[in-house]
Amino acid sequence: MITAFVLIHAVADHIPETAQAIADLDGVADVYSCAGDVDLIAVVRVREHEQLAEVIAGRLSKVPGVRQTDTHIAFRSYSQRDVEEGFSVGQD
């Protein structure tokens, strides 16, 4: 599974509608509104790299209200579950 984080600048008075439209796209796992330099952060999860272009450039960036996107592709996950599983290897 390939995970990408898409930082989104949106039209300010349409953020809720823009976020919901993005959340409804296939391949988008979560959308967060946030404070800071961007308005929304979308988590995209796909099986193949080619699908990133389809989801992000082909659909997400064309959602009404999206002004600009900046995509960051994850190499590795360090979730709490992953850390706990790594420490339990060989303890049986």
Residue 6: both structure tokens together: 């898409």
pLDDT in tens, 15-60: 999 999 999 999 999 999 999 999 999 999 999 999 999 999 999 9
What is the predicted pLDDT for the residue at 81? Answer: 63
Q: Based on the structure, what is the number of domains in the chain?
A: 1
Q: Which residue segment(s) compose the domain that 71 sits in?
A: 2-87
CATH number at residue 38: 3.30.70.920
Closest CA to 4 of 37, 38, 48: 48
- The answer as to whether 23 is a domain residue is yes
SS3 of 82, please?
helix
What is the predicted pLDDT for the residue at 78? Answer: 86
Provide the whole-model pTM: 0.84
- The answer as to whether 92 is a domain residue is no
Closest CA to 20 of 57, 3, 73, 28: 28
pLDDT in tens, 58-91: 999 999 999 999 999 999 988 776 555 555 555 5
- The answer as to whether 55 is a domain residue is yes
What is the predicted pLDDT for the residue at 79? Answer: 75
Report d(CA 43, CA 32) in Å as an integer: 9
Report d(CA 38, CA 25) in Å as an integer: 20
